[in-house]
Amino acid sequence: MILLSALFITAVSSHDKSSAQKLADPNYGPIPGQSSLYSSYRGKAPPFPGNITDPIAPTAKGSPGTDDLVWQNLLSAEWVIFSFYQQAVEMFNETAFVEAGYPNTTYDRIQEIRDNEAGHLRIFQNEITPTSVKPGACKYAFPFDNPTSFLALATLIEISSMTFLTGLVQMAKLPASQGAMTAIAATETRHETWALLDIWKTNPFGGPSDTVFPYANQILDVTNAFIVPKSCPSENPVYPSPRQNLPPFAPASSTKSISPGSNIVLNFTDPTNQPSFHKGVQYYATFFHGPSNISVPVDTTHWPREDIKVEIPSQFEARGIILAVIADIVGAPTLASVKAGPVILLEQPAELGLLVT
Ligand SMILES: *[C@@H]1O[C@H](CO)[C@@H](O)[C@H](O)[C@H]1NC(C)=O
Ligand SMILES: *[C@@H]1O[C@H](CO)[C@@H](O)[C@H](O)[C@H]1NC(C)=O
Ligand SMILES: *[C@@H]1O[C@H](CO)[C@@H](O)[C@H](O)[C@H]1NC(C)=O
Ligand SMILES: *[C@@H]1O[C@H](CO)[C@@H](O)[C@H](O)[C@H]1NC(C)=O
Ligand SMILES: *[C@@H]1O[C@H](CO)[C@@H](O)[C@H](O)[C@H]1NC(C)=O
């Protein structure tokens, strides 16, 4: 349920195919880890390579590299995340955050996170081999219009990034890709830790393990909600690929709390993409938290006449996130057993949970 409304739309910038094509050379432009641009650049104009939004065409013929598909998915996701921060940098300034009660360093940190995300764009472009297209930016619309709604959504996006990386790591085949993705997940964790400490003034730790979820593309698919329909370059591959296009759900407005032990009422939020529950099949809400999952049977027989209600397992520690899907097998052990979702329930800080979920 997104209570934060009002949309702010910007196209990132330049459309010039020849400048995009220069990016096919990994040595073109500032190099992540060697240039301070990806930490220290300050300004409202998008930093490289966020200032060049066209897709980069393949420069060699042949079959795609082993992990190209995973990196293409990650690059498309990164355009969403980079643009989220870039729009905030353009919309706000230091005073806006101070007046909203946040530390006077907040705007500076947001610019630095934006710069890190630009570095991710460049890293992911370089990880895709020359035989595959490197996806460009679409147009994005995010549900924030003030510093608090922005920071709340940023907290959810960072921790969701950590979780989908735990899945992408499992989809990648090359150890080098897996190592690079682990390093990116760690970067998102640093962003999250900063927000918990400085913004939300809470315990920065999320328990012994953040949440592991193997079906990363299902989480990436949820970010399609931020992409302006039909705004992606035609050269971009389907995002995410492969795409299941599962019916999304969120806690309905009657849900009082999303803490462990509370009941959530499921709202299947897309009228054009509703689930089809078969008679005689037992469905489960499978909840993932930390390294494990717990399934709770759900009664779908009278849906949609009667709401589906389910208790969030009370065993779970109220830290980090709980991720929930609807599955037709206990434990959602296969991709195809997932029939709806996922929804990400933010547990920390608890007061943001229902606001951003
Ligand atoms: C993008 O930024 C880079 C580095 O800051 C700059 O060299 C380049 O000219 C810019 N390109 C465009 C198209 O704005
Ligand atoms: C931020 O923007 C507001 C409104 O446009 C302006 O009054 C204020 O001086 C700006 N603050 C800074 C630090 O630029
Ligand atoms: C920022 O806030 C800190 C304390 O919260 C204060 O010591 C410092 O002077 C402030 N800096 C500016 C530039 O206002
Ligand atoms: C269900 O979601 C839709 C779409 O976001 C929203 O318009 C509607 O108010 C929600 N219904 C409830 C009962 O929460
Ligand atoms: C959920 O947990 C069960 C039992 O440990 C496991 O068999 C299953 O693979 C897990 N599901 C996923 C999607 O990891």
What is the arithmetic mean of pLDDT over 236-257?
97
Sign of CA dihedral 218, 220, 225, 231: negative
Q: Where in the chain is the domain with CATH 2.60.40?
A: 249-356
Contact 320, 211 (CB under 8 A): yes
With a 6 Å cutoff on the Cβ, whether 295 touches ligand 1 is no
Sequence-separated (6 or more) residues with CB below 8 Å from residue 114? 47, 82, 85, 86, 88, 89
Describe the crossing of helices 68-91 and 147-171 by its angle, rounded to 10 degrees.
Answer: 170
Q: pTM for this structure?
A: 0.94
Quick one: pLDDT at residue 302?
96
Ordered alpha helix ranges (H), 172-305? 175-194, 216-222
The residue whose C-alpha atom lies closest to atom 7 belonging to ligand 2 is: 95
CA of 108 to the centre of ligand 3 (A): 13
With a 6 Å cutoff on the Cβ, whether 52 touches ligand 1 is yes
CA of 103 to the centre of ligand 3 (A): 8
What is the arithmetic mean of pLDDT over 322-338?
98
Q: E strand or H helix at 321, and its extent?
A: strand 321-327
Q: Which of the following CATH numbers is that of domain 249-356: 4.10.320, 3.30.70, 2.60.40, 3.40.50?
A: 2.60.40
CA of 10 to the centre of ligand 3 (A): 32
Of the pLDDT bands very low, low, confident and very high (cuts 50, 70, 90), residue 16 is low
Distance CA 75, CA 122 (A): 9
With a 6 Å cutoff on the Cβ, whether 253 touches ligand 4 is yes
With a 6 Å cutoff on the Cβ, whether 269 touches ligand 4 is yes
Distance CA 93, CA 99 (A): 10
Quick one: pLDDT at residue 15?
55
Distance CA 86, CA 268 (A): 31
State the ligand closest to the CA atom of 268: 4
* Residue (of 132, 116, 149, 141) closest to 36 by Cα position: 116
**pLDDT tens, position by position, 120-172:** 999 999 999 999 999 999 999 999 999 999 999 999 999 999 999 999 999 99
With a 6 Å cutoff on the Cβ, whether 198 touches ligand 2 is no
The residue whose two tokens read 């955050």 is 97
Contact 43, 126 (CB under 8 A): no
**pLDDT tens, position by position, 269-310:** 999 999 999 999 999 999 999 999 999 999 999 999 999 999
